[in-house]
Structure 1
Amino acid sequence: MSTTDTPRDGAAPSRSALAGIRILDLTQVMSGPYCTMILADLGADVIKIENPVKGDQTRASWGYSVVGDDSRAFLSLNRNKRSVSLDLKRDEDREAFLALVRTADVVIENFRPGVAARLGVDYASVREHNQRIIYASISGFGQTGPYSQRPGYDLIAQAMTGVMSVMGEEGGAPVKSAIPIADLGAGMFCTIGILGAVIARGDGDEGQYLETSLFESALAMSVWESAEFWSTGEPPRPLGSANRMSAPYQALATSDGHLTIGANNEKLWRLLCEVIEAPDLVQDPRFVDNNRRMDNRVELAAELERRFAGATTDEWVERLLARGVPAGPIRDYEQVLTDDPHVRARNMVTSFEHPVEGRTLVLGSPLKLSGTPVQVRTPPPLLGEHNDEVLGEIATRPVAPERSAGAA
C-alpha cells in the first residue's frame, strides 16, 4: 500500500492524526465522500454506510469503469474506508446503524433536507443514542431558506451563486468551472467544521450539529468578486484567465503556446519589463500603476504578447524565473500526471492494490504532516465488504455513556 507522505526523518509513521476517531459516512457521490476521504487519509476510521443493492451512486453511475463494476470516480474518492451495507428503511438495519452510532464520534450525511429525519437517522434521533456525537450535513442549499428543498448539484450552485457569470471570456456563452468547486468546497468546509467540532468537544459529553451547502461554499469562495462588486457597484464580468485585482496576472501567448505570468506588484512589473526589454511600457500612461493596468488589460495583454511572440514558452519561463518574476507553462493533465518531476517529488500521485482493479493510480493528499503523515492504507471497499467485521466490533468497542434521566 502506498504512503502519500512520510516523516522528514524517514522513520515509519507511528500514529495518525485522527486515530481513534470513528466516522459513520452516509454520503455518496462527491461532496461527502471527499470530506470523509480527507478524514480517512488523516487516520479516522470511516465506515461507509451504503444501500445493499446499489451502494454509492458513483459505483456504477458516474465516470468510467475499467475492470469491475466500480467506476474510477468511486475509486478516486473512497480509499481508506470500510463499507457496511444497510437498508435504513428496514427496522433491523436501522437498529444496526444506531448501534454503530453508540460507538462513533461523527455522523455525516448529504441527503436532501428532511430525508434523514424520515429514515430516523437525523441529528435528533442519533443524539438519543449518543449525546457526544458530532453530526454533519451537506446539502445543495442548506437546511433552511427558500431554496432548501431544491435538488443540489455543483452546476446549479455555480450558476446561482454568480460563479458562472464570471467564467470564460467576456461576451462568450456561460461557462462553469471544470473543477467542481461547489462540491469539493462543501466537502472541505465540512471537514474543517468537523475538525473544529471535535476540538470543541474535547473530553466533554456534548457533541453538536453542523451543516454546510454547495451553494454557500461556492459563494464563500467568491472573495475577489464580492469585493469588486462592493467596491464598484457593478457586477463583475468574465475576464478569461486574468485576475480582477491585479494586472498583468494571466495567460499570454508565446511563439509556441501560452505561459502564465504573475507580475502583481510594481517591483515585479518593472522586472517583467526588463526581461522582455520593454522599458517604454513602464512609462506608458496606460500602465503606470495597477489601477491603470487593470483598466487597460486588453491593451496590456496585446503589448506583452507582441514581445512574447519572439521566443518559446519554455524560454520565456526560464528567463522570467531567473529574474524572480512568477511564471509557468500551461500543461495538460497528461503532462502533469505522467512526467512532472515536482508532482513526483511531492507524492501527488499514489496508488493502491485493489482486489478487482489491481494497481490503481489516484491523486495523493496535499496535506503534509511531519509527525502524523497522511497514508493510503487500504483501497476503496467493495460494497458491504466489511459487514461482518464492523458489526462484529459493536460488542467490543467502547460505547457512548448512557444519557442521564431528564437530559436535554
Structure 2
Amino acid sequence: MTAVMKGVRVLEVAEHTFVPAASALLADWGAEVIKIEHVERGDAMRGLASTGTSPVSGSVHVLLEHSNRHKKSLALDLTSDEGLDILYRLATTCDIFLTNKLPRVRAKLKIDVEHIRAHNPNIIYARGTGQGERGADADRGSYDFLAFWARAGIAAALMNEGDEQIRFPPAPGFGDSIGAMTIAGGLMGALFHRERTGEATIVDVSLLGAGMWSMGQGIALADQLQRPLGQPPTGRSGNPLVGTYRTGDDRFLVFSCLQAARYWPELCTLVGRPDLVTDPRFVDHAAISANTDAAFDILAEVFAQRTLEQWRETLRDFSGQWAVSQTTLEITTDPQAMDNGYLQDVQTSAGTPFRLVAAPVQYDEQPAPAGRAPDLNEHGDEILQSLGLDWDEILNLKIKGVVA
C-alpha cells in the first residue's frame, strides 16, 4: 500500500474511541502519531471493563487496539508546567494537533487553539466533540450512544410500533468509528489546503453532526414532509424485492432490487415459481406495486421452504442485488472480506495474535496493514530524547511524576 500520510506527524490528546480512531486511520496510512496519555492511568479506555452491552475481556483489549494501532505513547502530566512545556515542544514538530477534550478542559490545561498555535502557527488544530463547538451544549460531554445514536434520530427511526425501549447501537464505538472516518477525511482535506495555500485551518467534527450526516436523506425527507422518518408499519417496503425474508432455518435473506419489474421474472424462475412471471398481478411495475402485499406473502412462503445454504446456491447467479444477513462473527470468515483484506492479522507486544478490521480506504489496490496499539508510555523515552532531553533530565522528570 502507498503510505499517503508518510511524513505527517500528529500530536493527540484524546481518549476513548471517537477521536483516537481518527488518528489510528492516519497512522494506518503512514502518519506518525504521538499519543499523550494520562501519566498514571493512561487512556481511560485501558481500564474499560464493559461497553455497557458487552464485557471487555480476553488477553487482548481489542477495543483499545482498534483506535490506537500504530501509535507511539507518551504518558505525561499536562497539569504540570514541565509536562505542558514538553507538549508545546512536541507541537512545534507536528502537522496536526488532535483532541476531544471539552472546551473548559482545553482552557484549563492550556491546550486550546491559541495556546498550541502560540508555539506552532502552522499546525492544523482538530477538535472532536459531542454536540459541536457552539451552543448551550458545547461544553457538555457525550458519547456516540447519546449524540450520534439518540439525538441525531437514528434510534427513533429504528423503533417499531409497540417497542417499549429504543435499541442500543449494534456495536461498541459504532458512531465513534463513523465519526472518526469523518475526522480523518477532514484532516486530509486540511493538509491539502495548507499545502496549496499555506493556511492552517481549525477542523471541527461532532458526533451529533456525524449522526445527522448519516441520517441526512431521512432528515431532509422528514423536514420536507413534516413527519418523522420511521419503520414501515407492516415492516414491508412498497417493493417486494426490497426487504427481508426468513429462511427455513431462521436466517434472513435481504433484497434491494430497486427495479422490481426488471428482476421479478428472473427471481421467480430461480426460486421455482415461473408461474408468477405471467401472473396478471405481477406482469409489470404498476401491477407489482398494486399487489405488493400478495407478492411479499408468496415470496415469504417460498423462502421459508429451504435453508440458508440452499438459497445461497440457488441465488448464486441471480443478477439482482441481495445479501445474507450475517453476524459479526460470520463476517470474520466471509470470503469477499478476506479476498479484499478487510480483516488484518496483528500481534500484541507480547506476541499474542488477534485481528482488526482494516482502514476502509485502500491505496494502489492494497489494504493498509493494521498494527498494534502501544503499551502505556512505550515510546516515552524515545520521544523525550527526540526533543533533546538527556537521560538525567528524563530521569528527573520521572522522579517528579511529570512522565511515567
The question of a shared fold, defined as TM-score above 0.5 by the shorter chain, is answered with yes
Matched, 1:222 2:212: no
Matched, 1:237 2:230: yes
Tell me whether 1:195 sits opposite 2:188 in the alignment. Answer: yes
The answer to whether the Cα contact below 8 Å between 1:254 and 1:308 also exists between their aligned partners in 2 is: yes
Match of 1:42 in 2: 29
**In the alignment, which residue of structure 2 is the partner of 1:52?**
39
Q: Are the equivalent residues in 2 in contact too, given 1:263–1:272 (CA < 8 A)?
A: no
For 2:225 and 2:32, locate their aligned partners in 1 and report how far apart those are by CA, in whole Å.
Answer: 49
For the Cα contact (< 8 Å) 1:140–1:214, is it kept in 2? yes
TM-score by length of 1: 0.83
The equivalent residue for 2:12 is: 25
Q: How far did residue 231 of structure 1 move?
A: 4.7
User: What is residue 301 of structure 1 aligned with on the other side?
Assistant: 296
Equivalent in 330, 335, 343 of residue 330 of structure 2: 335
Distance of aligned partners of 1:359 and 1:290 in 2 relative to their CA distance in 1, 3 Å threshold: farther
Secondary structure at the residue paired with 1:116? helix
Partner of 1:348: 342
User: Is 1:98–2:88 an aligned residue pair?
Assistant: yes
- Out of 204, 208, 212, the position equivalent to 1:211 is 204
The 8 Å contact of residues 124 and 200 in structure 2, kept in 1 or not, is answered as yes
**Residues 181 and 218, structure 1, Cα contact 8 Å, conserved in 2:** no
Judging by fraction of residues, say which structure has more helix: 2
Greater shift in the superposed pair: 56-65 or 190-199: 56-65
Equivalent residues of 2:73, 2:378 under 8 A apart:
yes
Cα distance in 2 between the residues matched to 1:27 and 1:214: 15
Match of 2:394 in 1: none
Alpha-carbon offset, residue 22 of structure 1? 0.2
Whether the 8 Å CA contact 2:280–2:287 is kept in 1: the answer is: no
Partner-residue secondary structure (3-state), 2:193: helix
Q: 1:71 to 1:323 in 2, by over 3 A?
A: closer
Q: Counterparts of 2:238 and 2:204 in 1: how far apart (Å)?
A: 31
Q: Which of these residues, 261, 264, 276, is aligned with residue 258 of structure 2?
A: 264
- State which of 99, 124, 145 in structure 2 corresponds to 1:155: 145
Q: Relative contact order (alpha carbons < 8 A, sep ≥ 6): 1 or 2 greater?
A: 1
Measured at CA, do residues 318 and 230 of structure 1 come closer, stay the same or move farther in structure 2, by a change above 3 Å?
Answer: farther
Change in Cα spacing, 1:241 to 1:365, as seen in structure 2 (3 Å) is farther
1:40 positional shift: 0.3
Give, in angstroms, the shift of residue 61 of structure 1: 1.4
C-alpha distance after superposition, 1:21-72 (max 9, x if no partner): 00001111111111011000000000001011111111111442434xx733
Aligned-residue offset at 1:121: 0.7
Q: Could you tell me how far 1:323 is from its partner in structure 2?
A: 2.9
In structure 2, the residue matched to 1:12 is none
| Residues paired across the two proteins, number | 378
Report the counterpart of residue 312 of structure 1 in structure 2.
307
Distance 1:242 1:53, change over 3 A: farther
State the 1:335 CA deviation: 2.5
- How big is the shift at 1:128? 1.0
Cα distance, 1:83–1:248 mapped onto 2, change above 3 Å: same
CA contact (8 A) 1:321 1:327 kept: no
Unaligned runs of 5+ in 1: 1-5, 7-14, 397-408
Q: Provide the secondary structure at the position in 2 that maps to 1:333.
A: coil
Aligned partners of 1:23 and 1:106 also within 8 Å: yes
Q: Summarize deviations over 1:172-196 as a string: whole Å, max 9, x none.
A: 2321331344312221111111000
What residue is the counterpart of 1:185 in the other structure?
A: 178
State the SS of the aligned residue for 1:370: coil
Partner of 1:358: 352
Q: Separation in 2 of the partners of 1:192 and 1:391? A: 30
After superposition, the CA RMSD in angstroms is 2.9
Q: Matches of 1:16 and 1:284 in 2, distance apart?
A: 58
Aligned to 1:401: none
Structure 2 CA distance for partners of 1:290 and 1:393, relative to 1, 3 Å:
farther
Indicate conservation of the 8 Å contact 2:95/2:123, yes or no.
Answer: yes
Aligned residue number for residue 157 of structure 2: 166
Quick one: distance in 2 between partners of 1:240 and 1:353? 48
Aligned to 2:364: 370
1:353 to 1:320, Cα distance in 2 relative to 1, 3 A? closer
Contact map agreement 2:276 2:282 (CA 8 A) in 1: no
Instruction: Report the secondary structure of 2:103's partner residue.
Output: coil
Instruction: Tell me by how many angstroms 1:251 deviates.
Output: 2.1
CA shift at 1:133, angstroms? 0.4
Asked whether the equivalents of residues 35 and 190 of structure 1 are also in contact (C-alpha less than 8 Å), the reply is: yes
Verify the 8 A CA contact 2:179 2:206 in the aligned structure 1.
Answer: yes
Secondary structure of the residue that 1:332 maps to in structure 2?
coil
The answer for the alignment partner of 1:399 in structure 2 is none
- Does the aligned pair in 2 maintain the 1:139–1:213 contact within 8 Å? yes
Matched with 1:404 is: none
**Which deviations, in whole Å up to 9, do the C-alpha atoms of 1:309-352 show, x marking residues without a partner?**
22222222333341312222222233321x33223222222222
1:113–1:139 contact (8 Å) kept in structure 2: no
| Mapped partners of 1:290, 1:393: distance in 2 | 71
Q: CA deviation at 1:125?
A: 0.9
Task: State the percentage of identical aligned residues.
Answer: 24
Cα separation, 2, equivalents of 1:282 and 1:73: 53
Taking the aligned partners of 1:111 and 1:291, their CA distance within structure 2 comes to: 57
Cα distance, 1:229 vs structure 2: 1.8
Instruction: Kindly provide the CA deviation profile for residues 280-311 of structure 1, in whole angstroms up to 9, marking residues without a partner as x.
Output: 48866699648974x98665533321121222
Q: Secondary structure at the match of 2:329?
A: helix
Paired residues of 2:288 and 2:295 also in contact (CA < 8 A): no
